Amino acid sequence: MIPNSLFLRLNPWHAGAEPALPAYYVHRHAEKRLRDWTDPGRVVVITGPRQSGKSTLMNWWIGHLLGSGQAERDSLVYLNADYIQLLELISQPISLLDYLEALPRGCPRYLFIDEVQRLPEPGLVLKQLLDLGTGMQLVVSGSASLSIRSQAREHLAGRKLDLFLPPFSFSEIVAALPDLADLSDAPLEELKRQWPHRGQQLTELTEKLATVGGYPAVWLGGEESQDRLTELFDTYVRRDIVDFLRVDNPAPFNRLVRLLALQVGSQVNKTTLAADAGVRVREIDRYLSMLADTHVALIVPPFFSNKRKEIVKSPKIFFLDSGFRNILMGQLGPLAQRPDRGALIENLVVSEMAKQMPPLAQQHFWRTQSGAEVDSVVVHRERLIATEIKSGSRPRGPSRGFWSFIRSYNPAQAFLISHDTFSIPEPGQPLFLPIPVFLLLLERILRDQRYARN
Protein backbone atom coordinates (compact mmCIF):
# COMPACT_ATOMS: atom_id res chain seq x y z
CA MET A 1 0.00 0.00 0.00
CA ILE A 2 0.99 3.65 -0.28
CA PRO A 3 2.71 5.22 2.74
CA ASN A 4 0.51 7.97 4.13
CA SER A 5 3.39 10.46 3.94
CA LEU A 6 3.74 9.86 0.19
CA PHE A 7 -0.01 10.06 -0.36
CA LEU A 8 -0.19 13.45 1.37
CA ARG A 9 2.87 14.72 -0.50
CA LEU A 10 1.11 13.93 -3.76
CA ASN A 11 -2.33 15.04 -2.51
CA PRO A 12 -1.71 18.05 -0.20
CA TRP A 13 -5.33 19.20 -0.54
CA HIS A 14 -6.34 16.20 1.60
CA ALA A 15 -4.47 17.93 4.43
CA GLY A 16 -6.02 21.34 3.73
CA ALA A 17 -3.24 22.73 1.51
CA GLU A 18 -3.61 23.86 -2.10
CA PRO A 19 -2.34 22.10 -5.25
CA ALA A 20 1.21 23.13 -6.08
CA LEU A 21 1.49 25.66 -8.92
CA PRO A 22 4.51 27.78 -9.95
CA ALA A 23 4.67 31.28 -8.49
CA TYR A 24 4.42 32.59 -12.06
CA TYR A 25 1.77 30.47 -13.74
CA VAL A 26 1.22 30.68 -17.50
CA HIS A 27 -2.32 29.73 -18.44
CA ARG A 28 -2.59 27.11 -21.20
CA HIS A 29 -4.96 26.86 -24.15
CA ALA A 30 -5.76 23.31 -22.99
CA GLU A 31 -7.56 24.74 -19.96
CA LYS A 32 -10.49 25.72 -22.18
CA ARG A 33 -11.25 22.07 -22.96
CA LEU A 34 -10.83 20.94 -19.36
CA ARG A 35 -12.67 23.71 -17.51
CA ASP A 36 -16.16 22.34 -17.97
CA TRP A 37 -15.36 18.74 -18.89
CA THR A 38 -17.63 16.28 -17.09
CA ASP A 39 -17.93 12.87 -18.69
CA PRO A 40 -16.90 10.01 -16.38
CA GLY A 41 -17.50 7.60 -19.23
CA ARG A 42 -14.45 8.89 -21.09
CA VAL A 43 -10.77 9.07 -20.09
CA VAL A 44 -8.94 12.37 -20.53
CA VAL A 45 -5.54 11.45 -22.04
CA ILE A 46 -2.98 14.27 -21.84
CA THR A 47 0.17 13.69 -23.89
CA GLY A 48 3.13 15.92 -24.62
CA PRO A 49 6.92 16.06 -24.39
CA ARG A 50 8.72 15.60 -21.10
CA GLN A 51 8.50 18.68 -18.84
CA SER A 52 5.97 20.50 -21.02
CA GLY A 53 3.75 21.13 -17.99
CA LYS A 54 1.41 18.13 -17.90
CA SER A 55 1.64 17.65 -14.12
CA THR A 56 1.20 21.40 -13.63
CA LEU A 57 -1.90 21.32 -15.83
CA MET A 58 -3.31 18.49 -13.71
CA ASN A 59 -2.69 20.56 -10.57
CA TRP A 60 -4.35 23.57 -12.20
CA TRP A 61 -7.42 21.46 -12.98
CA ILE A 62 -7.53 20.11 -9.43
CA GLY A 63 -7.31 23.68 -8.13
CA HIS A 64 -10.06 24.78 -10.54
CA LEU A 65 -12.36 21.96 -9.43
CA LEU A 66 -11.81 22.86 -5.78
CA GLY A 67 -12.04 26.61 -6.29
CA SER A 68 -15.23 26.40 -8.36
CA GLY A 69 -16.92 24.09 -5.88
CA GLN A 70 -17.23 21.27 -8.42
CA ALA A 71 -15.39 18.81 -6.16
CA GLU A 72 -14.62 18.23 -2.49
CA ARG A 73 -11.01 17.90 -1.35
CA ASP A 74 -11.31 14.20 -0.55
CA SER A 75 -12.98 13.45 -3.90
CA LEU A 76 -9.74 14.07 -5.84
CA VAL A 77 -6.82 11.63 -5.87
CA TYR A 78 -3.53 12.09 -7.75
CA LEU A 79 -1.10 9.19 -8.32
CA ASN A 80 2.23 9.15 -10.18
CA ALA A 81 3.54 6.00 -11.86
CA ASP A 82 7.10 7.34 -11.63
CA TYR A 83 7.09 6.18 -7.99
CA ILE A 84 8.06 2.53 -7.65
CA GLN A 85 5.68 2.17 -4.70
CA LEU A 86 2.78 3.20 -6.93
CA LEU A 87 3.66 1.60 -10.24
CA GLU A 88 2.74 -1.95 -9.24
CA LEU A 89 -0.48 -0.82 -7.55
CA ILE A 90 -1.66 1.24 -10.54
CA SER A 91 -0.82 -1.64 -12.90
CA GLN A 92 -3.39 -3.86 -11.15
CA PRO A 93 -6.86 -2.29 -11.46
CA ILE A 94 -8.55 -4.56 -8.89
CA SER A 95 -5.87 -3.86 -6.26
CA LEU A 96 -5.99 -0.14 -7.08
CA LEU A 97 -9.77 -0.10 -6.70
CA ASP A 98 -9.51 -1.94 -3.36
CA TYR A 99 -7.04 0.70 -2.14
CA LEU A 100 -9.24 3.60 -3.29
CA GLU A 101 -12.36 2.10 -1.72
CA ALA A 102 -10.49 1.83 1.58
CA LEU A 103 -9.91 5.59 1.68
CA PRO A 104 -12.03 7.43 4.30
CA ARG A 105 -14.49 8.66 1.67
CA GLY A 106 -14.19 5.62 -0.60
CA CYS A 107 -13.57 5.85 -4.34
CA PRO A 108 -12.77 9.42 -5.42
CA ARG A 109 -14.85 11.25 -7.98
CA TYR A 110 -11.69 12.16 -9.93
CA LEU A 111 -8.59 9.96 -10.32
CA PHE A 112 -5.47 11.55 -11.85
CA ILE A 113 -2.64 9.23 -12.95
CA ASP A 114 0.61 10.87 -14.08
CA GLU A 115 3.37 9.25 -16.19
CA VAL A 116 0.98 6.54 -17.32
CA GLN A 117 3.38 5.41 -20.06
CA ARG A 118 5.33 3.66 -17.28
CA LEU A 119 2.55 1.07 -16.96
CA PRO A 120 3.15 -2.21 -18.82
CA GLU A 121 -0.27 -1.96 -20.52
CA PRO A 122 -1.76 1.50 -19.93
CA GLY A 123 -4.67 1.12 -22.36
CA LEU A 124 -5.84 -2.14 -20.81
CA VAL A 125 -5.53 -0.78 -17.26
CA LEU A 126 -7.68 2.24 -18.14
CA LYS A 127 -10.27 0.10 -19.93
CA GLN A 128 -10.60 -2.17 -16.90
CA LEU A 129 -11.00 0.81 -14.57
CA LEU A 130 -13.79 2.11 -16.79
CA ASP A 131 -15.41 -1.30 -17.08
CA LEU A 132 -15.52 -1.66 -13.31
CA GLY A 133 -18.22 1.03 -13.35
CA THR A 134 -16.95 3.14 -10.47
CA GLY A 135 -18.12 6.41 -12.06
CA MET A 136 -14.69 7.97 -11.50
CA GLN A 137 -13.48 10.58 -13.98
CA LEU A 138 -10.08 9.27 -15.12
CA VAL A 139 -7.41 11.78 -16.14
CA VAL A 140 -4.03 10.45 -17.25
CA SER A 141 -0.87 11.94 -18.70
CA GLY A 142 2.30 10.67 -20.33
CA SER A 143 5.27 11.81 -22.36
CA ALA A 144 5.22 9.11 -25.06
CA SER A 145 2.16 9.24 -27.27
CA LEU A 146 2.56 6.08 -29.34
CA SER A 147 2.40 3.55 -26.52
CA ILE A 148 -0.48 5.40 -24.86
CA ARG A 149 -2.52 6.35 -27.90
CA SER A 150 -2.06 3.07 -29.81
CA GLN A 151 -3.27 1.09 -26.79
CA ALA A 152 -6.00 3.66 -26.21
CA ARG A 153 -7.23 3.17 -29.77
CA GLU A 154 -7.30 -0.58 -29.16
CA HIS A 155 -8.97 -0.56 -25.75
CA LEU A 156 -10.71 2.83 -25.48
CA ALA A 157 -12.32 3.45 -28.86
CA GLY A 158 -14.89 6.22 -28.38
CA ARG A 159 -14.14 6.42 -24.65
CA LYS A 160 -11.37 9.03 -24.44
CA LEU A 161 -10.54 12.70 -24.98
CA ASP A 162 -7.06 13.24 -26.42
CA LEU A 163 -5.36 16.44 -25.28
CA PHE A 164 -1.91 17.46 -26.53
CA LEU A 165 0.15 19.75 -24.28
CA PRO A 166 3.25 21.17 -26.03
CA PRO A 167 5.73 23.66 -24.59
CA PHE A 168 4.44 27.23 -24.26
CA SER A 169 3.04 28.72 -27.44
CA PHE A 170 3.67 32.33 -28.46
CA SER A 171 0.09 33.36 -27.74
CA GLU A 172 0.20 31.76 -24.26
CA ILE A 173 3.37 33.70 -23.48
CA VAL A 174 1.88 36.99 -24.68
CA ALA A 175 -1.31 36.41 -22.66
CA ALA A 176 0.79 35.97 -19.49
CA LEU A 177 2.52 39.36 -19.81
CA PRO A 178 0.53 42.22 -18.23
CA ASP A 179 1.71 44.86 -20.74
CA LEU A 180 0.87 42.70 -23.77
CA ALA A 181 -1.99 40.47 -22.59
CA ASP A 182 -4.67 42.54 -24.32
CA LEU A 183 -3.11 41.67 -27.68
CA SER A 184 -3.37 37.90 -27.22
CA ASP A 185 -6.95 37.78 -28.50
CA ALA A 186 -7.15 41.17 -30.25
CA PRO A 187 -8.76 41.30 -33.71
CA LEU A 188 -6.62 41.83 -36.79
CA GLU A 189 -7.55 45.51 -37.13
CA GLU A 190 -6.47 46.24 -33.54
CA LEU A 191 -3.19 44.36 -33.99
CA LYS A 192 -2.45 46.46 -37.07
CA ARG A 193 -3.24 49.67 -35.16
CA GLN A 194 -0.99 48.65 -32.26
CA TRP A 195 1.91 47.34 -34.38
CA PRO A 196 3.82 50.66 -34.68
CA HIS A 197 3.74 51.08 -30.88
CA ARG A 198 4.20 47.52 -29.59
CA GLY A 199 5.54 45.58 -32.53
CA GLN A 200 9.12 45.72 -31.23
CA GLN A 201 8.12 44.02 -27.97
CA LEU A 202 6.32 41.28 -29.87
CA THR A 203 9.28 40.81 -32.21
CA GLU A 204 11.70 40.46 -29.29
CA LEU A 205 9.47 37.78 -27.76
CA THR A 206 9.34 35.94 -31.08
CA GLU A 207 13.13 35.97 -31.34
CA LYS A 208 13.51 34.74 -27.76
CA LEU A 209 11.08 31.88 -28.42
CA ALA A 210 13.02 30.96 -31.57
CA THR A 211 16.24 30.91 -29.53
CA VAL A 212 15.54 29.35 -26.11
CA GLY A 213 12.21 27.69 -26.92
CA GLY A 214 9.07 27.42 -24.82
CA TYR A 215 9.69 24.68 -22.26
CA PRO A 216 8.28 26.13 -19.01
CA ALA A 217 11.42 25.59 -16.91
CA VAL A 218 13.57 27.11 -19.65
CA TRP A 219 11.36 30.08 -20.50
CA LEU A 220 10.95 30.99 -16.85
CA GLY A 221 14.53 30.08 -15.95
CA GLY A 222 16.17 33.42 -16.77
CA GLU A 223 19.94 33.22 -17.14
CA GLU A 224 19.91 29.45 -16.57
CA SER A 225 18.33 28.66 -19.96
CA GLN A 226 21.38 26.86 -21.35
CA ASP A 227 21.86 24.68 -18.27
CA ARG A 228 18.15 23.80 -18.17
CA LEU A 229 18.06 22.88 -21.87
CA THR A 230 21.16 20.70 -21.47
CA GLU A 231 19.60 18.96 -18.48
CA LEU A 232 16.35 18.53 -20.40
CA PHE A 233 18.09 16.78 -23.31
CA ASP A 234 20.16 14.55 -21.00
CA THR A 235 17.03 13.55 -19.06
CA TYR A 236 15.13 12.91 -22.29
CA VAL A 237 17.81 10.53 -23.58
CA ARG A 238 18.19 8.76 -20.24
CA ARG A 239 14.52 8.40 -19.32
CA ASP A 240 12.63 8.19 -22.61
CA ILE A 241 15.18 6.74 -25.02
CA VAL A 242 17.30 4.44 -22.85
CA ASP A 243 14.92 3.44 -20.05
CA PHE A 244 11.50 3.56 -21.71
CA LEU A 245 12.22 2.84 -25.39
CA ARG A 246 15.10 0.53 -24.45
CA VAL A 247 17.86 1.85 -26.70
CA ASP A 248 20.87 0.18 -25.11
CA ASN A 249 23.44 2.23 -27.02
CA PRO A 250 22.22 5.84 -27.33
CA ALA A 251 25.35 7.14 -29.11
CA PRO A 252 24.06 6.59 -32.70
CA PHE A 253 20.71 8.09 -31.69
CA ASN A 254 22.47 11.18 -30.30
CA ARG A 255 24.48 11.55 -33.51
CA LEU A 256 21.32 11.35 -35.60
CA VAL A 257 19.51 13.99 -33.52
CA ARG A 258 22.42 16.39 -33.91
CA LEU A 259 22.55 15.76 -37.67
CA LEU A 260 18.85 16.54 -37.90
CA ALA A 261 19.41 19.75 -35.93
CA LEU A 262 21.98 20.80 -38.54
CA GLN A 263 19.53 20.35 -41.42
CA VAL A 264 16.28 21.51 -39.83
CA GLY A 265 13.71 22.34 -42.48
CA SER A 266 15.43 20.20 -45.11
CA GLN A 267 14.10 17.07 -46.72
CA VAL A 268 15.41 13.86 -45.20
CA ASN A 269 17.79 11.70 -47.18
CA LYS A 270 17.74 8.51 -45.14
CA THR A 271 20.67 6.92 -46.95
CA THR A 272 22.94 9.90 -46.28
CA LEU A 273 21.73 10.19 -42.68
CA ALA A 274 22.40 6.53 -42.06
CA ALA A 275 25.95 6.81 -43.40
CA ASP A 276 26.71 9.95 -41.37
CA ALA A 277 25.17 8.55 -38.17
CA GLY A 278 26.83 5.16 -38.59
CA VAL A 279 23.61 3.12 -38.55
CA ARG A 280 21.57 1.11 -41.01
CA VAL A 281 18.82 2.78 -43.03
CA ARG A 282 16.09 0.84 -41.22
CA GLU A 283 17.40 2.23 -37.93
CA ILE A 284 16.78 5.75 -39.26
CA ASP A 285 13.06 4.97 -39.55
CA ARG A 286 13.05 3.60 -36.01
CA TYR A 287 14.81 6.62 -34.55
CA LEU A 288 12.61 9.08 -36.46
CA SER A 289 9.54 7.31 -35.07
CA MET A 290 10.99 7.64 -31.57
CA LEU A 291 11.59 11.36 -32.05
CA ALA A 292 8.03 11.89 -33.28
CA ASP A 293 6.53 9.61 -30.59
CA THR A 294 8.26 11.53 -27.81
CA HIS A 295 7.23 14.90 -29.33
CA VAL A 296 10.74 16.10 -30.08
CA ALA A 297 10.66 16.06 -33.89
CA LEU A 298 7.95 16.99 -36.38
CA ILE A 299 7.91 14.88 -39.52
CA VAL A 300 6.22 17.02 -42.16
CA PRO A 301 5.29 15.20 -45.39
CA PRO A 302 5.08 16.84 -48.83
CA PHE A 303 1.69 17.88 -50.16
CA PHE A 304 0.33 16.00 -53.16
CA SER A 305 -3.17 15.65 -54.49
CA ASN A 306 -2.14 12.01 -54.98
CA LYS A 307 -1.95 10.74 -51.39
CA ARG A 308 0.21 7.76 -52.35
CA LYS A 309 3.04 10.10 -53.32
CA GLU A 310 3.04 11.66 -49.85
CA ILE A 311 3.99 8.28 -48.40
CA VAL A 312 6.94 7.60 -50.67
CA LYS A 313 8.41 11.10 -51.00
CA SER A 314 10.91 12.44 -48.46
CA PRO A 315 9.50 14.48 -45.54
CA LYS A 316 11.03 17.52 -43.89
CA ILE A 317 12.18 17.44 -40.27
CA PHE A 318 11.52 20.21 -37.75
CA PHE A 319 11.77 20.39 -33.95
CA LEU A 320 8.70 21.01 -31.78
CA ASP A 321 10.86 23.29 -29.62
CA SER A 322 13.51 25.53 -31.16
CA GLY A 323 15.49 25.73 -27.92
CA PHE A 324 15.83 21.96 -27.88
CA ARG A 325 17.25 22.13 -31.41
CA ASN A 326 19.60 25.00 -30.57
CA ILE A 327 21.12 23.33 -27.52
CA LEU A 328 22.03 20.37 -29.77
CA MET A 329 23.91 22.87 -31.93
CA GLY A 330 25.49 24.54 -28.90
CA GLN A 331 24.10 27.87 -30.12
CA LEU A 332 21.82 30.10 -28.07
CA GLY A 333 23.09 33.40 -29.42
CA PRO A 334 20.88 36.32 -30.57
CA LEU A 335 18.83 35.52 -33.64
CA ALA A 336 20.01 38.57 -35.60
CA GLN A 337 23.63 37.36 -35.45
CA ARG A 338 23.00 33.81 -36.60
CA PRO A 339 23.58 32.37 -40.07
CA ASP A 340 20.72 29.92 -39.52
CA ARG A 341 18.18 32.69 -38.82
CA GLY A 342 15.99 31.71 -41.78
CA ALA A 343 15.86 28.04 -40.76
CA LEU A 344 15.06 28.98 -37.15
CA ILE A 345 12.21 31.29 -38.14
CA GLU A 346 10.74 28.58 -40.37
CA ASN A 347 11.09 26.04 -37.54
CA LEU A 348 9.37 28.45 -35.14
CA VAL A 349 6.36 28.98 -37.42
CA VAL A 350 5.98 25.29 -38.29
CA SER A 351 6.26 24.29 -34.63
CA GLU A 352 3.74 26.93 -33.52
CA MET A 353 1.31 25.52 -36.08
CA ALA A 354 1.88 22.01 -34.71
CA LYS A 355 1.20 23.22 -31.15
CA GLN A 356 -2.23 24.55 -32.12
CA MET A 357 -3.26 22.17 -34.90
CA PRO A 358 -6.94 21.14 -34.64
CA PRO A 359 -7.78 17.43 -34.51
CA LEU A 360 -7.50 15.75 -37.92
CA ALA A 361 -5.70 18.74 -39.48
CA GLN A 362 -2.38 17.96 -41.19
CA GLN A 363 0.64 20.11 -42.00
CA HIS A 364 2.64 19.70 -45.22
CA PHE A 365 5.08 21.54 -47.44
CA TRP A 366 4.86 21.78 -51.24
CA ARG A 367 7.74 21.50 -53.69
CA THR A 368 7.87 20.80 -57.42
CA GLN A 369 10.66 19.21 -59.42
CA SER A 370 11.45 22.65 -60.87
CA GLY A 371 12.06 24.03 -57.34
CA ALA A 372 8.81 25.96 -56.75
CA GLU A 373 8.00 25.72 -53.03
CA VAL A 374 5.49 26.71 -50.33
CA ASP A 375 6.78 26.46 -46.77
CA SER A 376 3.55 25.33 -45.09
CA VAL A 377 0.31 23.88 -46.41
CA VAL A 378 -2.28 22.96 -43.77
CA VAL A 379 -5.11 20.65 -44.81
CA HIS A 380 -8.18 21.01 -42.59
CA ARG A 381 -11.73 19.99 -43.44
CA GLU A 382 -10.80 19.78 -47.12
CA ARG A 383 -9.60 23.40 -47.02
CA LEU A 384 -6.02 24.50 -47.64
CA ILE A 385 -4.12 27.22 -45.75
CA ALA A 386 -0.88 28.18 -47.50
CA THR A 387 1.91 30.15 -45.82
CA GLU A 388 5.16 31.54 -47.23
CA ILE A 389 7.71 32.36 -44.50
CA LYS A 390 10.32 35.10 -44.94
CA SER A 391 12.85 35.89 -42.21
CA GLY A 392 13.81 39.32 -43.58
CA SER A 393 12.03 42.67 -43.74
CA ARG A 394 9.71 43.96 -46.46
CA PRO A 395 9.66 41.13 -49.02
CA ARG A 396 8.90 42.30 -52.56
CA GLY A 397 5.96 39.95 -52.77
CA PRO A 398 4.99 36.30 -52.98
CA SER A 399 7.40 34.08 -54.88
CA ARG A 400 6.53 32.59 -58.25
CA GLY A 401 6.19 29.25 -56.53
CA PHE A 402 3.63 30.67 -54.10
CA TRP A 403 1.57 32.11 -56.96
CA SER A 404 1.87 28.80 -58.80
CA PHE A 405 0.44 26.94 -55.79
CA ILE A 406 -2.40 29.46 -55.44
CA ARG A 407 -3.35 29.09 -59.11
CA SER A 408 -3.13 25.30 -58.99
CA TYR A 409 -4.87 24.58 -55.69
CA ASN A 410 -6.91 27.71 -54.81
CA PRO A 411 -6.26 27.64 -51.02
CA ALA A 412 -8.97 29.02 -48.76
CA GLN A 413 -6.41 31.34 -47.13
CA ALA A 414 -2.88 32.41 -48.11
CA PHE A 415 -0.36 34.32 -46.01
CA LEU A 416 3.06 35.82 -46.59
CA ILE A 417 4.69 36.43 -43.23
CA SER A 418 7.92 38.31 -42.59
CA HIS A 419 9.78 40.41 -40.03
CA ASP A 420 7.60 43.50 -40.15
CA THR A 421 5.46 43.78 -43.30
CA PHE A 422 1.79 44.46 -42.61
CA SER A 423 -0.54 44.78 -45.59
CA ILE A 424 -4.22 43.86 -45.94
CA PRO A 425 -4.72 43.33 -49.69
CA GLU A 426 -7.68 43.07 -51.99
CA PRO A 427 -9.85 39.92 -51.74
CA GLY A 428 -8.21 36.96 -53.43
CA GLN A 429 -4.65 38.13 -52.64
CA PRO A 430 -2.27 36.77 -49.96
CA LEU A 431 -2.32 38.63 -46.65
CA PHE A 432 1.05 40.11 -45.59
CA LEU A 433 1.60 39.88 -41.82
CA PRO A 434 4.48 40.32 -39.38
CA ILE A 435 5.42 36.95 -37.91
CA PRO A 436 4.31 37.82 -34.32
CA VAL A 437 0.87 38.94 -35.56
CA PHE A 438 0.46 35.75 -37.57
CA LEU A 439 1.35 33.69 -34.48
CA LEU A 440 -1.22 35.56 -32.37
CA LEU A 441 -3.93 34.89 -34.98
CA LEU A 442 -2.82 31.31 -35.60
CA GLU A 443 -5.37 29.46 -33.48
CA ARG A 444 -8.18 31.43 -35.13
CA ILE A 445 -6.72 30.88 -38.62
CA LEU A 446 -6.41 27.13 -38.11
CA ARG A 447 -10.01 26.97 -36.92
CA ASP A 448 -11.16 28.60 -40.16
CA GLN A 449 -11.68 32.18 -39.07
CA ARG A 450 -11.18 34.04 -42.36
CA TYR A 451 -8.58 36.74 -42.89
CA ALA A 452 -7.52 36.34 -46.51
CA ARG A 453 -8.69 35.26 -49.99
CA ASN A 454 -12.42 35.75 -49.36
Instruction: Name the domain boundary from 164, 197, 220.
Output: 164
If asked whether residues 176 and 143 sit together in one domain, one would say no
Kindly state the percentage of the chain with pLDDT values over 90: 60
For residue 128, with 0-12 CB atoms within 10 Å meaning exposed, 13-18 middle and 19 or more buried, which class applies?
middle
Domain assignment present for residue 89? The answer is yes
Distance of alpha carbon 304 from the chain centroid? 25
**pLDDT over threshold 50, residue 146:** no
Which of 108-117, 161-170, 310-319 has the weakest average pLDDT?
A: 310-319
- Answer yes or no: is 451 within a domain: no
Q: 231 with 148, same domain?
A: no
Please list, in sequence order, all residues whose beta carbon lies within 8 angstroms of the beta carbon of residue 110, skipping any fewer than 6 positions away. Answer: 62, 65, 71, 75, 76, 77, 136, 137, 139
pLDDT (0 to 100) of residue 310: 45
Residues 329 and 240 in one domain: yes
In angstroms, the Cα distances linking 196 to 44, 192, 200, 351, 442 are 43, 8, 8, 26, 20
Q: What is the pLDDT at residue 224?
A: 79
Report, as an integer, the average pLDDT of 214-239.
85
pLDDT confidence of residue 38? 72
Domain termination site, one of 136, 164, 192: 164
* Residue 252 CA neighbour count, 13 Å, CB half: 17
Q: Which residues contact 249 (CB under 8 A, 6 or more apart)?
A: none
Does any domain span residue 260?
A: yes
Read off the pLDDT of each residue in 151-173 and give the average, rounded to a whole number: 83
Same domain flag for 151 and 174: no
Same domain? For 187 and 103 the reply is: no
Of 103, 134, 164, which residue is a domain's last? 164
145 plus 175 within the same structural domain? no
Q: What are the φ/ψ torsions at residue 385 (nearest 5 degrees)?
A: -125, 115
Sorting pLDDT into bands at 50, 70 and 90, what band is 37?
confident
User: Does 201 share its domain with 327?
Assistant: yes
Q: Report if residue 454 sits inside a domain.
A: no
Q: How far is CA 237 from the centre of its chain?
A: 18
Domain that holds residue 21: 4-164
What does the pLDDT read at residue 330?
A: 86
If asked whether residues 397 and 257 sit together in one domain, one would say yes
Minimum mean pLDDT range among 29-33, 173-177, 233-237, 372-376: 233-237
- The candidate with the shortest Cα–Cα distance to 59, out of 4, 122, 11, 8, is 11
pLDDT tens digits, 48-87: 998 999 999 999 999 999 999 999 999 999 999 999 989 9
Same domain, 251 and 390: yes
Lowest mean pLDDT among 21-25, 375-379, 397-401, 423-427: 423-427
Strands 137-142 and 160-164, sheet pairing:
unpaired
Find the mean pLDDT for residues 367-376.
89
pLDDT tens track for 293-327:
888 999 999 998 765 554 448 899 999 999 999 99
Residue 238 or residue 406, greater confidence: 406
DSSP-derived 3-state class of residue 340:
coil
Average pLDDT of the chain, as a whole number: 89
156-160, 337-341, 450-454: range with highest mean pLDDT: 337-341
Domain membership of residue 416 (yes or no) is yes
Is the four-CA dihedral 385, 208, 342, 365 of positive or negative sign? negative
Looking at the 3D structure of the chain, how many domains does it have?
2
> Could you tell me if residue 453 is inside a domain?
no
CATH number, residue 138: 3.40.50.300
What are the backbone dihedrals phi and psi of residue 150, each rounded to the nearest 5 degrees, phi first?
-65, -40
> Region 167-175: what's the mean pLDDT?
97
Q: Are residues 314 and 253 in the same domain?
A: yes
Q: What is the number of H-type helices and E-type strands within the chain?
A: 19, 12
pLDDT-derived band at 152 (thresholds 50, 70, 90) equals low
Mean pLDDT of 367-381: 90
Note whether 12 and 118 are same-domain residues: yes
pLDDT band at 95 (very low <50, low <70, confident <90, very high): very high
Question: Per the domain annotation, does 188 fall within a domain?
Answer: yes
Specify whether 124 is located in the same domain as 193. Answer: no
Compare 386 and 36 and report the one with higher pLDDT.
386
Instruction: Give residue 145's pLDDT.
Output: 54
pLDDT band, very low/low/confident/very high, at 452 (cuts 50, 70, 90): low
